[in-house]
Amino acid sequence: MDPVALSSLLIVVLFLVLGTGIWIALALGIVAYAGMAIAVSAPPGQVLATSIWGAATSWDLTALPMFIWMGEILYRTRLSQDMFAGLAPWMRSLPGRLLHVNVVGCTIFAAVSGSSAATCATIGRISLPELQKRGYDERLAIGTLAGAGTLGLLIPPSLIMIVYGAATEQSIARLFIAGVVPGVALAGLFMLYVAGWALLNPRRMPAPDPAMPLGQRLAAARSLIPVVLLIVGVIGSIYGGLASATEAAVVGVALSLLMSRAMGTLDWANFRDGLLSATRTSCMIAFILAGAAFLTTAMGFTGIPRALAEWIGAMNLSPWQLLLALTLFYMVLGCFLDGISMVVLTTAVIMPLVEAAGFDLIWFGIYIVIVVEMAQITPPVGFNLYVLQGMTGRSIFRIGLYALPFFLILALMVALLAVFPDLALWLPRHMLEAG
């Protein structure tokens, strides 16, 4: 069968299988098996075994369960409550006031957890009841949480950057460094939108709280010390060259356990629940990676990546046109797949096109993470939307509407990254030269 026709058929099969509600990992495996059965004489069983083994033995992926476990430990401490108490007094004078706590809190927690869903869930459990009690606009409170929660994917340590780095054989440390400036810039854009909305809608803002003396604000800021120490321990060990991404994940787990113990929240029940929850999440991700690895190998056997590259290459797309086409492609794919599946599933097809267009693969990693962030708040498969639905009881599509302005801000960030690639490349290049 013609490779382009085969790829079209497999895409149809993929969406049909996903439409049945079957697990994503099984859906990927079924499509891979179908592709090999149609177009390849090699035994699918042997290919399945070797591809899964190759994916499972990647050393870089060792950091995944560690970072997930760290997030589960922190979720069960008072760290998040202390962070809110420390940030709130300093947000009072800004237009939008406590709504900025969602953005700042998610930005800080993203530098600790590495997970978008964990960031959204942890900050949301703290901020939403408080914002509701104080009379803040529900649409913006939920929207800021949905949008800022995606920063867990961009600000290091990031699970999806680890997956991308392993799939494309790029330096995970450099990817982590490259995500810092875009992550901070994106948080700034979110805060700018919140401030502008508050200035344009003063009647929908509650009355400000009484002013707090500087001494009391400084006293409240002391509760941020554990957060700062954890960030320094995890991120500083990577940037300082003391630990790899995998080793830094172990540092994060150790520090989280020590902090949990110091706060008096580390007991046998919390330790067991956190470990079991991290194991379930890690197994789910490993299962998805196994199915995607089989599909990636099967696509290599069928020749689809090469054929698609030649087909798109024959269209003579300029780099800008290719980037626009890939953005639209990922936006559509994000309506049906989670971020990790999107990255692992498409790298075999996309990387030859990206390299041929002359894009830096570190830069492209940051680009693809931001596009995946857009998918996190896109119905019907937006993980942040599911998290917020569980906390608020609102429908997925209503929460998606609340998050629409932040979706557009993410799209703006994609455009800025394309026009100014040094947003992602300057810091790793500078640190590399300095080293």
The per-residue pLDDT for range 122-138, each reduced to its tens digit, is: 677 777 877 887 788 88
What is the helix, strand, coil percentage profile of the chain, to 5? 80, 0, 20
Indicate the SS3 state at residue 77.
Answer: coil
At position 315, the amino acid (one-letter code) is M
What does the pLDDT read at residue 245?
63
Indicate the SS3 state at residue 150.
Answer: coil
Q: What is the CA radius of gyration of the chain?
A: 22
Q: Are 366 and 178 in contact (CB under 8 A)?
A: yes
pLDDT confidence band for 109 (50 / 70 / 90)? confident
CA distance linking residue 191 with residue 341, whole number of Å: 30
The per-residue pLDDT for range 12-25, each reduced to its tens digit, is: 887 787 677 777 77
Identify which has the larger pLDDT, 376 or 184.
184
The per-residue pLDDT for range 182-232, each reduced to its tens digit, is: 999 999 999 999 999 989 988 888 776 667 788 888 888 887 788 788 878
Identify which has the larger pLDDT, 331 or 324.
324
The per-residue pLDDT for range 144-174, each reduced to its tens digit, is: 988 888 887 888 777 788 888 887 878 888 8
The per-residue pLDDT for range 82-95, each reduced to its tens digit, is: 766 777 777 777 88
CA distance linking residue 158 with residue 152, whole number of Å: 7
CA distance linking residue 82 with residue 227, whole number of Å: 9
Q: Where in the chain are the domains? A: 59-287+314-433
Tokens coding 57: 């033995």
For residue 151, the tally of other CB atoms under 10 A from its CB is 27
CA distance linking residue 80 with residue 400, whole number of Å: 25
CA distance linking residue 180 with residue 428, whole number of Å: 10
Tokens coding 64: 């995944």
CA distance linking residue 276 with residue 271, whole number of Å: 9
Q: Are 64 and 252 in contact (CB under 8 A)?
A: no
Q: Are 147 and 190 in contact (CB under 8 A)?
A: yes
Continuous H helices in 116-179: 116-133, 138-149, 151-154, 159-168, 172-178
What does the pLDDT read at residue 189?
94
What does the pLDDT read at residue 165?
87
Tokens coding 403: 């998050």
